[in-house]
Amino acid sequence: MTAAAGNQDGGDLDEARIEAWLDEHPGFVGDYFMRKASRKVVDSWLLAHAVPQSVVQDQGHNAAVVRCNSGGSASLNGSGVSPPMRKISACEFDRGSPLRPIVQTSFDGTPTFLALPAAGEAQNASAPRQQRRSRQELRALNERELIFELVKDICNELDIRMLCHKILQNVTVITNADRCSLFLVHGDRDSTERCLVSQLFDVSCQSTLEQVRYEEVRVPWGSGIVGYVAQSKEAVNIPDCYNDSRFNKSIDLRTGYRTRCMLCMPVFDRDGEVIGVAQVINKKDHNGHDVFNRNDEKVFSEYLQFCGLVLRNAQLYERSELENTRNQVLLDLARMVFEEQSTIEQVVYRIMVHMQALLECERCQVLLVDHKTKTTFHRVFDLEAKDVLKDDMSCCTSPYEGRFPINTGITGCVVATGQIANIPDAYKDERFDSKVDEGGMFKHKSILCIPIYNAGRLVLGVAQLINKLNGEPFNKNDEQLLEAFAIFCGLGIQNTQMYEKVVKAMAKQRVTLEVLSYHATAPLDEARKLSECMLPSTQSLKLQDFKFNDFSLDDDGMLTACLRIFLELDFLNRFHIEYTVLCRWLLSVKKNYRGVSYHNWRHAFNVGQMMFAILTNTKLHEVLGDLETFGLIVACFCHDLDHRGTNNSFQIKSSSPLAQLYSTSTMEHHHFDQCIMILNSQGNQILSHVSPAEYTTIIRVVEESILATDLAVYFRKRGLFFKLVENKEYQWNNGDHRELLRNMLMTACDIGAITKPWEVQRVVADLVTMEFFQQGDMERQELKIQPIDMMNRDKQDQLPAMQLGFIDSICLPLYRAFSRIHERLGTLLEGVEHNRREWQRLAEARLAAVNGDQNGPGDGEADKRRAGPVAVL
């Protein structure tokens, strides 16, 4: 296609064909992008493609586009986290020398975001400025040189007042005027409040900046000579001001100075917008020409062109400095809000004090909304400027409760609409209720009311400022500053409300714990009764016998046996335990075991007896020391407290509250919590006389030991233990090795029934089976799931084989390792091996019964009845 044809078809066709070609050649597009794309283009692309998750949900018809643009971030979006919209990267600040630190330390040592003057800056500020040329030297220059010299004088000045003073003094030189003034434009172009404000007034050629009166004169847009020049953008040269109707004689009457002639010109920026008006008064000419001529207009206009550019730069610099300072103030205010968030009263009081000081108003109010109460504000805080000086601030931190209606007035409108209300004159606003001023000394004039949101954009309340101290209405800057500050206030109030809820929940929890502790604690009279019982000897109770019969003692016998264990190990003397307190603690522990088939008080006692037998027969209690031995015994008696007859897997499957508290070792963590609750309950504090260091050690051993009864923990740690034992590398003076030994001891004692005589082992197996089958029934009926074979009542004939697997994978390796540590522990290994042979016999009998059924009628049913129900421990 020729160029002419291309021009006839138009640019759209060319762009369409180019885009189609690029679509067909993605490789070239990618290569071109990698070679040619600037950082600005890359940042723009990232910003355009950072689609929030809410947009994806709200705009279903764009889902395909979003998925394409998401690329590899599917997992991020899937988690509900929106990709960040990066406005700027940190590398953008790596230009030139390092910037000023964001956080600095103030003179009192507190961190602050406000910029502090550096030592060099203070010296530079006080250094003398470059010497300016005298009026006579400037008069000696020609017009071109004069303009150039005066432009040089102002080009590097960024301080607005100093710049304006230089401009006006230079103007008096080039126009030979007696006085001059400079008015700068305030307000937006379309604002009704736009006006001109005198930056410096009545400057003469001899006056210094310090001598000039800073008297702010406001001239409405289009009013008077200055207002007319600004509005019309035309210069005005008036030879006799008193004959001009636009001239305001009141200023002459006030100052005593008579204005004869005036030259007034607009000051433009580079875009041709009026940013000020310069005014020179009373020409001084020795030749008798006392009015401004054409040449004055020409020179004045040429100089003001440069002044406009320099003045605009100075204004931009001043604005950037003000915005920077404003941001620093907001950061400092945010730090103040988040510094202390213990109560709503304290947070709101701090907010009101800083809000009142920042915006300089007579009164500040914060009204909080409770969305449960639809009619009135839940809490109303009020602070007057004079209240800050009071010694007693209780009147300011104590809010009014539910007194002000929420659906009326200015505050109600702000809550309903979520819009800022800036009211210059309260009595001219129909929403204002003038009755609030009746009978009091306070009168509402101007009001600024703004909503306070939480992080979810829900209105928490409103902040209301009343009457600026300077008598002026609140302006746009006040709105913007308060709006930004309100964001931090909302987050601070929300955080404090959440904290208060947590504190209240913790208080309720403590009350509940006190009630539970009371009901979980055994009565004192029972403890006294137990303390009066005669205690049989260790030998008569056979507490050191590895073949101890788990069912040989009744409830009272198990309690007295526990007391004998504590006495035998001399715990009462070593840890100064009162005997009645120990009795009550044991009774409370027993009371907190449920009446389940197997994991009950008897099982806990049997675990404690096995631990006592192992420690005393092998003298390991001397190796571990009193603290660790005491912790182990306490852990044994408490390791299954409040067991519900269901395992960790069931807690997770049923989404029980316990599973929500603990994701791993669910029941073990609960057992430990119950143990601590009893230890801390009144009358059960057997650790009350130990030192803080001893208490920490004992509790740590108890926690580790109870958690170690989770077989998942056993499988995770046993490899290292077996390696140490096999290579004889263990050193019991090593803390890690001792902890590993304690963990393995807990498992050995917890499954210790597998080492007992066959008669005991069979009864225990029946109890375990009963409990497992009950859990399986619950899974089938309540959770509607098929239980595993071990808990399936329909699969009880397969349990001998499962018991063999349990012994081979868990029991034999553990007891074999302990038999290598001490020869007396070989008895435990022998017990396991004997019981394995018995389980093997039952498994073979069951297999024979199955084969008999397949071959024909036989006595398989009799063998099955002899086998009975069994279970994996």
In CATH, what number is assigned to the domain containing residue 857? 1.10.1300.10
Query: Does residue 287 belong to any structural domain of this protein?
Result: yes
Ranges of H-type helices in 130-194: 135-139, 143-154, 160-175
Mark whether 357 and 482 lie in a shared domain. Answer: yes
Mark whether 487 and 631 lie in a shared domain. Answer: no
In this prediction, the residues of the chain whose per-residue pLDDT falls under 50 are: 1-10, 50-87, 89, 120-128, 858-873
Domain boundary among 91, 121, 154: 91
Domain boundary among 729, 750, 771: 750
671 as an active site residue: the answer is no
Query: Does residue 114 belong to any structural domain of this protein?
Result: no
The CA distances from residue 226 to 181, 201, 235, 463, in Å, are 10, 13, 10, 40
- If 0-12 CB within 10 Å is exposed, 13-18 middle and 19+ buried, where does residue 344 land? buried
| Number of domains comprising the chain | 5
Mark whether 302 and 184 lie in a shared domain. Answer: yes
Query: Does residue 111 belong to any structural domain of this protein?
Result: no
Query: Does residue 335 belong to any structural domain of this protein?
Result: no
Among candidate residues 161, 384, 174, the one with its CA nearest the CA of residue 297: 174
Mark whether 558 and 605 lie in a shared domain. Answer: yes
Please tell me the predicted confidence (pLDDT) of residue 603. Answer: 97
Q: Is 640 annotated in some ligand binding site? A: yes
Cα(246)–Cα(427) distance, rounded to whole angstroms?
34
- What tens digit of pLDDT does each residue of 366-414 get? 999 887 776 778 788 888 888 776 665 555 555 666 566 766 789 889 9
Please tell me the predicted confidence (pLDDT) of residue 89. Answer: 47
Q: Is 603 annotated in some ligand binding site? A: yes
Element (H, E) at 365: strand 361-368
Q: Considering the entire predicted model, what is its pTM?
A: 0.56
Mark whether 663 and 684 lie in a shared domain. Answer: yes
Please tell me the predicted confidence (pLDDT) of residue 392. Answer: 57
Mark whether 604 and 686 lie in a shared domain. Answer: yes
| CATH code at position 428 | 3.30.450.40
Mark whether 291 and 346 lie in a shared domain. Answer: no
Query: Does residue 129 belong to any structural domain of this protein?
Result: no
Mark whether 681 and 662 lie in a shared domain. Answer: yes
DSSP-derived 3-state class of residue 516: helix
Domain boundary among 750, 768, 802: 750
Backbone angles phi, psi at 54, to 5 degrees: -65, -35
Q: Is 846 annotated in some ligand binding site? A: no
Query: Does residue 115 belong to any structural domain of this protein?
Result: no
Q: Is 639 annotated in some ligand binding site? A: yes
Query: Does residue 116 belong to any structural domain of this protein?
Result: no
Mark whether 367 and 478 lie in a shared domain. Answer: yes
Q: Is 803 annotated in some ligand binding site? A: yes
Tokens of 795: 């699969």
Q: Is 600 annotated in some ligand binding site? A: yes
Q: Is 133 annotated in some ligand binding site? A: no
Catalytic residue among 354, 378, 444, 599: 599
Mark whether 268 and 389 lie in a shared domain. Answer: no
Q: Is 576 annotated in some ligand binding site? A: no
Mark whether 579 and 698 lie in a shared domain. Answer: yes
Please tell me the predicted confidence (pLDDT) of residue 59. Answer: 43
Please tell me the predicted confidence (pLDDT) of residue 407. Answer: 64
Element (H, E) at 201: strand 195-203
Mark whether 579 and 619 lie in a shared domain. Answer: yes
- DSSP code for 94: -
Q: Which domain holds residue 834?
A: 751-873
Query: Does residue 119 belong to any structural domain of this protein?
Result: no
Please tell me the predicted confidence (pLDDT) of residue 727. Answer: 95
